Amino acid sequence: MITSEFLNGGIYVNIALFLTIVLSLGVIFVNGWTDAPNAIATAVSTRVLRPNIAIGMAVVMNFLGVLVMTYFNAQVAETISNIVTFDSGGSFRVSQIALAAALFSIVVWTVAAWYFGIPTSESHALIAGLTGAAMALGGLHAVNGEEWMKVLIGLVVSTLMGFIGGFLITKLIVWLFRDTQRRKANKIFTVGQAIAAGANAFLHGAQDGQKFMGVFMLGLFYNNLAEKTGNGFAIPLWVMVLCSLTMGIGTSVGGMKIIKSVGMDMVKLEKYQGFSADVTAAICLFLSSVFGIPVSTTHTKTTAIMGVGASRRFSSVDWRIVKEMIYAWILTFPGCGLIAFLMVKFLLLIL
């Protein structure tokens, strides 16, 4: 006989599972919508690729990046799934509420950033949202300091590698092609930048796809649908496919605001400069993915573009746009984290 208590518990579990999946996929969709365009921004701004072709390529390469890199190396997903703990005296109900609040805060923050055309980092928003929600339950004890250090290391390393790499690679290319006819050089850089843009989109999927899959697996875990070992989760193929498809759909919806801010407004790029920025970002993202360090793809790409622009002269960079981006990056951690913290407290009061 099915009791009302069992029925209510079952209904609660089903609703919690539904909300967790919807919010997880919503965050992944928003990432594809607002973050993935960074990978192709420079190729569009230099007219190497038309926007519709670039977005189509980004959809495919993001999909492949999620699948291929997760299959060979899922360390980024493991870092994200271990960065905080939502355990609250063994109550999965409270853990589900906290995770839902974290995901909600990420969606709110990133959509607001997209509305204003600011390429804020979904990676930073993800980490901030998870941390704020976890701290609402267990304070600083809910945060894994060792895994958080990887985030801070990634923040510093990606900034330095992006800016310095973009600066030096541009200088090197100018020296190597100093005696090459401009028309011939442009043909080389057109092909090279198209390939490099594809690599950026692939590595965006490898980095951000893994981060959000780690969160998706946390949602399944708190609904007793996944097991967690000491090394994290064994991510099943259907999760990889579902998450990569959702990200791809998000990318196909749009992203011209972000493409305009990153590829057109911040620095006016020529083809060799766009190639330099894309190669620099691809190298940074590849090394970060191999070593399991979660970095911001937005942060990496934009600092590479700054370095490229500065290699010609510092006035080539619109530092007003750069300042807006830096403010957004700085505010993401306390802003998104606070939204998640307050949302957890609110939901625990009413549920």
Q: In this model, does residue 127 exceed pLDDT 90?
A: no
Q: Where are the domains of the chain?
A: 4-350
- pLDDT for res 8: 44
Torsion of CA 30, 35, 242, 148, to 10 degrees: -100
Looking from the CA of 242 toward its CB, the CA atoms found within 13 Å total 15
d(CA 108, CA 115) in angstroms, rounded, equals 11
Q: In this model, does residue 48 exceed pLDDT 90?
A: no
- pLDDT for res 117: 63
Under DSSP, is residue 192 helix (H, G, I), strand (E, B) or coil?
Answer: helix
- Using left for φ > 0, alpha for ψ between -120 and 50, and beta otherwise, residue 233 falls in beta
- pLDDT for res 207: 82
And the tokens for 250? 């998000």
Burial class (CB in 10 A: 0-12, 13-18, 19+), 260: middle
pLDDT tens sequence across 188-201: 999 999 999 899 88
Q: Contact at 8 Å (CB) between 94 and 231?
A: no
Look-up of token digits 């919690």 = 16
Three-class DSSP labels, 125-172? HHHHHHHHHHHHHHHHHHECHHHHHHHHHHHHHHHHHHHHHHHHHHHH
- pLDDT for res 118: 64
Q: In this model, does residue 225 exceed pLDDT 60?
A: yes
- pLDDT for res 259: 62
The pLDDT confidence band at residue 80, using thresholds 50, 70 and 90, is confident
Give the DSSP letter of residue 48. S
- pLDDT for res 131: 92
pLDDT tens sequence across 284-313: 888 887 887 878 777 888 888 888 888 877
d(CA 69, CA 75) in angstroms, rounded, equals 10
State residue 252 phi and psi, 5-degree precision: -70, -20
pLDDT tens sequence across 231-252: 667 778 888 888 888 887 877 7
Q: What is the mean pLDDT of residues 13-37?
A: 75
